[in-house]
Structure 1
């Protein structure tokens, strides 16, 4: 009997972890947090299911009906319903709703059998029935969340006011309108429900920071739909949550009264029962609190479905809205990885790469700066200004295919540098520019007048390391064929070259200073060092040699073409932004949705921004369909 007691406490503990930490994946990128949530997620259902079966057997075979409280079985059904904050760990879990429906039928049958035993023994059935009802509701709500993760239409009401609370309401409701503009299907497609000119008008009138704030809220809505029960609030949901909470409270009260009159259970079982019932009440209260503090609550309280003047409701919501403004909706961080870390880092297991890419696998993430957000927004708007679906034909394909050529053309250096972005495969181009960016940075750091904190320099460095991070740890988001192959070959050549030039220093752990030394040796004697790199290449698909050559050409802009250092870095940053835009459109929506469960990616925000502005292949299909329909008429 000690086994079932331990399992009951373990099940409550796992539910508590999922309730309080399940939704932090939305904005947290730490390895340990995601590992703990993953472990609790895969263990919670197994522990509850095993405990329910074990409890049913003990109730059937026990000669003493009061040995273990039989109402523990409905509590396990309540645990199987899960907390409000997490229903799925990955988007693939949503496809298993039929299995969970079958499990509901089976587990409810087992719990009903235990209740029948209680009924025939005339024991504390009044404690078990409310918990049983609450468990059925919560489990059914979880299956509903699995079954309907798609995006549904929702009524909107414009709110106009100058107060800060009204501004927050306006942001949430505008993000909800953008969220209604598309439906992400289970396949890798995006279907728009409204004319793209409408979303273009909404987004193009705003500043960069405000636009990204709207997209943060919008992707928060998507995360809630895919991975939690926190979705739009309605009166039926309010009633169901009230029933579950009142059921848990009433069960606790009934048990308190019955134990005060006559307690037939042991002291330990009584304490565990109180702990389980109090835990059920607190978890229900936590679920209600999570709903009331969500953006969905703001939508519901300011909708036409709730009576009262809009201004009055907004003033009443001021405390809630102040919490909304402080809430983190995504990590706002960019993973970082350097090619120079490849020879010294230990191999990372594939499982950890795929599911737990984070601080243990790469350099610490950096926050997306306001300057970087502004640069990305300006470049996206510039690309959009070159495309008009009504007059420009279908040139959006050409715009989406650009991956660095346009900034070079604007600067007049496409003939010199175009080979690095247009003449090679994307992964090769990415590695070439990563090496070149690193080289230029180390070379410029030798100048005392060089400002490392300049926006264009920081943007170039962070984007260069971020794109390499995606290539190594999230290759599916770059949608390239065998993306790690070129990286591995480049890293191997890098290691051989360093081993040849600095063998005595490579006996221990490699440090960044050794890579500095390599570039410092390259600067005064480029022909000799490039010849050495070419000898080490041996016909492989390494990008190291081309990266060094590109870097030397970029450095010559200051001496041969009279460019300022700032102008050079502006061009480098613009090339990296265009590579980011290219990668964003190539990544499938399913991969973007999966990334939301790991703290979110800047790449996803950029993809959604471009889609709302009409820079998407799916948007083009909508235009084609409309034009064909007009022609048929």
Structure 2
């Protein structure tokens, strides 16, 4: 039934839904988002729609991202609002009767209050306001007014929700008389053009390990007593300011997704092969866990960021921004959202805590970034007491990138392609509950990729190595 209705929407020849202008295309895409929300599971035909439909054009990533964004709006509303109830038969009739009942009740209550005021002969100053109005009447009036305002606000948001917009478009498709009415078309277009505030701010969280490993949270808020009331901040957990999700990042990610020729993703090895540096750098992709891979490459990327002079006219400035942005974004997951990573959360937290301890010992009294970079440059020169640690591996990888490859443009292309592939590798997840919970806290870019890859049926090439003592996590809603 839903598939038939979607086909009717897509084939509708009404002026409002013709494919002649981009604004009309967005209305059909809203229905497509709703259909994908209903089909949030792997399906070969859905992947063909995404690959050969949404991503076939040069700027197809913009449309694909917009559709997934609206799709996740439906998912958010399904779990955290009651907007989906408007699809129940007779809802609008019931809502109208409810509003009429409220209006009648207000009228009856007003009459009773007036009668009560006339019949109350008490002039007690404790129950009478300066203007002569009774206190109990004032309190009752405020409560009634608050109730009315809340009902009207709820009705407003529900009327302009994506769910209501889909209903309007479906009604437009079903009724030919609406397709011949310019007034109705203008009204529907206006309603669909209203974009209510959503939790997704189109921003990427950021975390820099070399800038934050020495951070110690305040003991006033982080102690055993306060642990019962608020989440505790661990050593090294100092988040950098979030940044706006750029078109460069979206374009790079979707371009890599479009070029993917299989239903399996690699954790960066594929990009190293394409750039002809697999033999030299692949060792940093074959570590015990993906948390270690992220941390080692993040430290190496930070090393390159501070070691290489950056010029504004650098031809590969785009690669530089993509690499550093996604590096700090995935490092944020290690520090603050390990449940979104392929590894099990408790083990990822353990790896992070160990890396913080190792960095403090390794850097010692290095107070500035310049001193830290110099300290990291000393590692590949000989045997190190820190051999095998996250900070030592990251230093060795960063040194190899800067000194063995040499060409600055090529370095940033390697790093950009690696991080794009790795963020796609992280996105597929069987922990749907974690993604839904993050929708309530503002959403994540990786959740959009998770939804897109879920439709495609794309998975990781092989599961990450996990310790035997790691705890199981819940994979259900």
TM-score of the aligned structures, taking structure 1 as reference length: 0.61
Within 5 Å, which residues of 2 pair with 1:2-21? none
SS of the residue corresponding to residue 112 of structure 2 reads helix
**Residues 295/244 of structure 1: CA separation in 2 closer, same or farther (3 Å cut):** same
Q: Quick check: 1:249–1:281 contact (8 Å CA) kept in 2?
A: no
- Alpha-carbon displacement from aligned partner over 1:188-226 (angstroms, at most 9, x marks no partner): xx4769765445544333511111010000000010001
Residue in structure 2 matched with residue 203 of structure 1 by the alignment: 54
Within 5 Å, which residues of 2 pair with 1:188-199? 190=41, 196-198=47-49
Structure 2 residue runs of 5 or longer lacking an equivalent are 11-16, 121-126, 128-133, 461-477
Tell me how far apart the structure 1 counterparts of residues 107 and 233 of structure 2 sit (CA, whole Å). Answer: 44
- Alpha-carbon displacement from aligned partner over 1:449-496 (angstroms, at most 9, x marks no partner): 775992211111111111111111111111413002222222112112
Residue in structure 1 matched with residue 449 of structure 2 by the alignment: 606
Residue 376 of structure 1 pairs with residue 239 of structure 2:
no
- Alpha-carbon displacement from aligned partner over 1:51-101 (angstroms, at most 9, x marks no partner): xxxxxxxxxxxxxxxxxxxxxxxxxxxxxxxxxxxxxxxxxxxxxxxxxxx
Residue 367 of structure 1 pairs with residue 367 of structure 2:
no
Residue in structure 2 matched with residue 569 of structure 1 by the alignment: 412
Residue 277 of structure 1 pairs with residue 144 of structure 2:
yes
**Residues 589/245 of structure 1: CA separation in 2 closer, same or farther (3 Å cut):** same
Tell me how far apart the structure 2 counterparts of residues 155 and 515 of structure 1 sit (CA, whole Å). Answer: 60
Residue in structure 1 matched with residue 101 of structure 2 by the alignment: 247
Within 5 Å, which residues of 2 pair with 1:414-425? 414-425=278-289
Residue in structure 1 matched with residue 160 of structure 2 by the alignment: 293
Within 5 Å, which residues of 2 pair with 1:16-415? 155-156=5-6, 157-158=9-10, 159-163=17-21, 165-182=23-40, 190=41, 196-198=47-49, 200-206=51-57, 207-231=60-84, 233-234=86-87, 236-263=90-117, 267-304=134-171, 307=175, 308-310=177-179, 312=182, 313-324=184-195, 328=198, 330-340=200-210, 341-346=212-217, 361-383=238-260, 386-387=261-262, 396=263, 399-400=264-265, 402-415=266-279
Q: Quick check: 2:304–2:402 contact (8 Å CA) kept in 1?
A: yes
Residue in structure 1 matched with residue 466 of structure 2 by the alignment: none
| Residue 179 (structure 1) shift | 1.9
Moved more, 272-281 or 422-431: 422-431
Residue in structure 2 matched with residue 581 of structure 1 by the alignment: 424
- Alpha-carbon displacement from aligned partner over 1:577-605 (angstroms, at most 9, x marks no partner): 11111111135212111111111111111
Residue in structure 1 matched with residue 298 of structure 2 by the alignment: 434
Q: Quick check: 2:316–2:413 contact (8 Å CA) kept in 1?
A: no
SS of the residue corresponding to residue 141 of structure 2 reads helix
* Structure having greater relative contact order (Cα 8 Å, sep ≥ 6): 2
| Residue 296 (structure 1) shift | 1.4
Q: Quick check: 2:292–2:351 contact (8 Å CA) kept in 1?
A: yes
The counterpart of 1:485, out of the listed 345, 350, 353, is 350
The counterpart of 1:591, out of the listed 427, 430, 434, is 434
- Alpha-carbon displacement from aligned partner over 1:394-421 (angstroms, at most 9, x marks no partner): xx3xx23x10100111111111101000
Tell me how far apart the structure 2 counterparts of residues 165 and 261 of structure 1 sit (CA, whole Å). Answer: 56
SS of the residue corresponding to residue 410 of structure 2 reads helix
Residue in structure 1 matched with residue 123 of structure 2 by the alignment: none
Residue 455 of structure 1 pairs with residue 318 of structure 2:
yes
Residue in structure 1 matched with residue 468 of structure 2 by the alignment: none
| Residue 342 (structure 1) shift | 2.1
Residue in structure 1 matched with residue 401 of structure 2 by the alignment: 554
RMSD: 3.1
Tell me how far apart the structure 1 counterparts of residues 216 and 4 of structure 2 sit (CA, whole Å). Answer: 49
Tell me how far apart the structure 2 counterparts of residues 612 and 423 of structure 1 sit (CA, whole Å). Answer: 29
SS of the residue corresponding to residue 600 of structure 1 reads coil
Moved more, 594-603 or 197-206: 197-206
Tell me how far apart the structure 2 counterparts of residues 585 and 222 of structure 1 sit (CA, whole Å). Answer: 17
SS of the residue corresponding to residue 317 of structure 1 reads helix
| Corresponding pairs, count | 420
Give 1 or 2: higher helix fraction.
1
